[in-house]
Amino acid sequence: MFCRYTVVQVAKRFVFICVALIGLVSCGTVYELYAPPNSTIHRGIEGNSRVPPERQFVLPDDYRYDPMPPIIFRATKEIDPPEPWYLGKKSPNSMSTILKSDTWRVTHRIDSKFLIYSDSFQSRQKKLRQKFGSPYLFHIYIDANGVASGWALLLDHKIVVSKNGRKTILHPRANEGGDWPTVPLFARN
């Protein structure tokens, strides 16, 4: 009998099929490794339990706040801000000075706190970190009186396109590390 395929052709097809199957199976595994945990259920040793709000991974877009007219804040004086905290440790990177001329607009609202963002501060911070670059946009938690209580580092949607990849713990933590003064640093414009 005459065989249509040679042993080499069969081996090549077999290897291709194995690699394709491994690739398909690993997609789910890679997703589970890098995706944030479920935002409401934590699967631990004790079984399923509710995750407190300050430890839930959420999509910042769900808290977007675009009032008309926009709410604008300005610093009451030049501020040398404290470094942000990341994963329970203080960031070793220095921060740009917050200038009185910076315009900070409200971008998100979480409970009674606002997140404010400044294009001018972000561009100075980007120049300061030019050597390393950063996918983060620097926001500040403040209350309605202008008292700052910490940094929120949100991933830039232009760099991290995946919604699941931009999920973060977004909760107004009171004075991350206690480094922010408890007096109003910002005033409404």
Label residue 29 by pLDDT band (50, 70, 90).
Answer: low
* Bridge partners, residue 109, by sequence: 114
Better-predicted residue by pLDDT, 130 or 81: 81
Q: Kindly state the average pLDDT of the residues 82-111.
A: 82
Tokens representing residue 24 in the block: 């398909």
Is a pLDDT exceeding 80 seen at residue 109? yes
Q: Kindly state the average pLDDT of the residues 157-163.
A: 74
> pLDDT digit string (tens) for 33-73?
455 554 344 443 344 445 555 566 777 878 888 888 889 99
Residue 173 maps to a domain: yes
Residue 58 maps to a domain: yes
Better-predicted residue by pLDDT, 81 or 132: 81
Residue 70 maps to a domain: yes
Better-predicted residue by pLDDT, 112 or 171: 112
Measured CA angle at 66 (ends 105, 146), to 5 deg:
35
Better-predicted residue by pLDDT, 4 or 37: 4
Measured CA angle at 60 (ends 188, 121), to 5 deg:
45
| pTM for the whole structure | 0.68
Residue 117 maps to a domain: yes
Residue 45 DSSP one-character state: T
Residue 98 maps to a domain: yes
How many domains is the chain built from?
Answer: 1
Residue 22 maps to a domain: no
User: What is the rounded CA–CA span in Å between residue 135 and residue 154?
Assistant: 8
Residue 20 maps to a domain: no
> pLDDT digit string (tens) for 115-156?
999 999 998 888 877 655 677 888 999 999 999 988 888 888
Better-predicted residue by pLDDT, 186 or 85: 186
Q: Are 147 and 116 in contact (CB under 8 A)?
A: no
Which domain does 166 fall in, by range? 52-188
